[in-house]
């Protein structure tokens, strides 16, 4: 089975990123041929600093390696090093409906936050994501719940292409974790955890030190009453903490509820904090060992790009032939 997923290059990965995506990357190495890309081209669709982008690509590379992504068992590369992604993006635009792109939730959200320029790149972002996936004849895409709509669009683009130009692409499917697919902000438990939140107080970063994690969990917003039960409508704060503990311990939310039945919020929060501290500590420690070796990180990305290009270029030969682009094969 071919597995592909891309991750934005930011060093400030939070607990939701880790549970929803990075942990799936590590698991994917056991289940199939895994390909993972640090999608720096996607990062250029909003305002950014060029020097910081180069730095955060390496931050993200070190983070993935620290979490257990192994270049000997998967392909790990930088998106911009494989030019087939951008060529395929342009060609897929011919079978992508303008109306579909206009309905994408993330475009609406991000364009609303842009103060100066809403770029065409932000609008076409989902087509580039489709190209990332389809270039590798991907069968499974591990993502968080917020990317569900993008994967559905990728499936539609692949179907349209196959109908118009003949069977070319595998139709991918998403893989979303049953527990922890949508970790919420500790201070705003009705909003998804995000590094773009107005305050870090509700965001647990993977590289936070233990005391910072304990403080953030201790101050997490809870709800009226004392029952530790999962009810996102009435008790979003406690429900989020239940989801976090279940994901970190790899148990069901029902098991968490049973364990803490009749116990108070304070004791529960302490248990959540200690579980998260223990869960993230090995990643933070390994990251600090890996990040200084920038030459080694670049070598890993370069070697991964060579392997990725072999697969993507074979797909592009099929696409060009099907579309009548370039010389007769």
Indicate if the pLDDT at residue 1 is higher than 70: yes
Q: Which residues lie below 8 Å from residue 102, measured CB to CB, with a gap of 6+?
A: none
Split at pLDDT 50, 70, 90, the class of 114 is low
Q: Give the pLDDT mean for 44-52.
A: 89
Query: Which pLDDT value is given to residue 95?
Result: 96
Q: Rounded distance, CA 196 to CA 188, Å?
A: 13
Q: Measured in Å, how far apart are the chain's first and last C-alpha atoms?
A: 28
Q: Rounded distance, CA 44 to CA 287, Å?
A: 25
Indicate if the pLDDT at residue 55 is higher than 70: yes
Indicate if the pLDDT at residue 234 is higher than 70: yes
DSSP code, position 184: B
Structure tokens at 305: 């790009």
Split at pLDDT 50, 70, 90, the class of 198 is confident
For the chain, percent of residues with pLDDT exceeding 90: 74
Structure tokens at 2: 């071919």
SS3 of 325, please?
Answer: coil
Q: Rounded distance, CA 91 to CA 87, Å?
A: 6
Q: Give the pLDDT mean for 120-135.
A: 93
283-321 tens-digit pLDDT: 999 999 999 999 999 999 999 999 999 999 999 999 999
Indicate if the pLDDT at residue 323 is higher than 90: yes
- Whole-model pTM over 0.75: yes
SS3 of 51, please?
Answer: helix
Indicate if the pLDDT at residue 112 is higher than 70: no
Indicate if the pLDDT at residue 180 is higher than 80: no
Indicate if the pLDDT at residue 204 is higher than 90: yes
Query: Which pLDDT value is given to residue 199?
Result: 86
Indicate if the pLDDT at residue 184 is higher than 80: yes
Q: Give the pLDDT mean for 57-75.
A: 97
Query: Which pLDDT value is given to residue 111?
Result: 67
Q: Contact at 8 Å (CB) between 75 and 35? A: yes
Q: What mean pLDDT, rounded, does the chain reach?
A: 92
Structure tokens at 327: 């010389």
Query: Which pLDDT value is given to residue 21?
Result: 86
Q: Give the pLDDT mean for 66-81.
A: 97
Least confident stretch, 17-21, 111-115, 197-201, 218-222: 111-115
Q: Give the pLDDT mean for 274-288.
A: 96
């Amino acid at each position: 089975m071919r597995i592909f997923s891309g991750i934005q290059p930011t060093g400030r990965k939070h607990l939701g990123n880790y549970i929803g995506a990075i942990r799936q990357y590590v698991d994917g190495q056991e289940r199939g041929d895994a390909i993972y890309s640090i999608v720096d081209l996607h990062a250029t669709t909003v305002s950014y600093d060029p020097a910081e982008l180069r730095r955060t690509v390496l931050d993200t590379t070190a983070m993935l390696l620290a979490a257990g992504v192994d270049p000997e068992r998967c392909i790990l590369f930088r998106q911009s090093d494989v030019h087939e992604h951008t060529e395929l993006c342009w060609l897929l635009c011919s079978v992508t409906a303008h109306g579909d792109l206009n309905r994408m939730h993330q475009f609406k959200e991000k364009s609303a936050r842009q103060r100066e320029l809403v770029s065409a790149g932000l609008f076409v972002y989902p087509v580039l994501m489709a190209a990332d996936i389809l270039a590798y004849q991907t069968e499974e895409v591990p993502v968080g719940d917020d990317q569900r709509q993008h994967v559905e669009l990728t499936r539609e683009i692949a179907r349209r292409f196959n109908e118009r130009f003949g069977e070319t692409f595998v139709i991918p499917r998403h893989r979303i974790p049953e527990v922890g697919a949508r970790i919420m902000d500790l201070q705003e438990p009705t909003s998804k955890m995000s590094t773009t939140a107005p305050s870090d107080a509700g965001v647990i970063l993977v590289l936070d030190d233990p005391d910072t994690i304990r403080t953030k969990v201790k101050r997490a917003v809870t709800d009226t009453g004392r029952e530790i039960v999962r009810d996102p409508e009435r008790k979003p704060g406690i429900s989020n903490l239940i989801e976090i503990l279940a994901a970190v311990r790899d148990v069901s939310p029902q098991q968490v509820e049973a364990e803490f039945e009749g116990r108070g919020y304070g004791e529960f929060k302490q248990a959540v904090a200690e579980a998260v501290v223990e869960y993230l500590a090995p990643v933070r420690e390994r990251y600090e060992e890996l990040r200084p070796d920038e030459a080694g990180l670049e070598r890993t990305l370069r070697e991964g790009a060579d392997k990725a290009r072999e697969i993507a270029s074979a797909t592009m030969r099929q696409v060009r032939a099907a579309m009548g682009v370039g010389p007769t094969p």
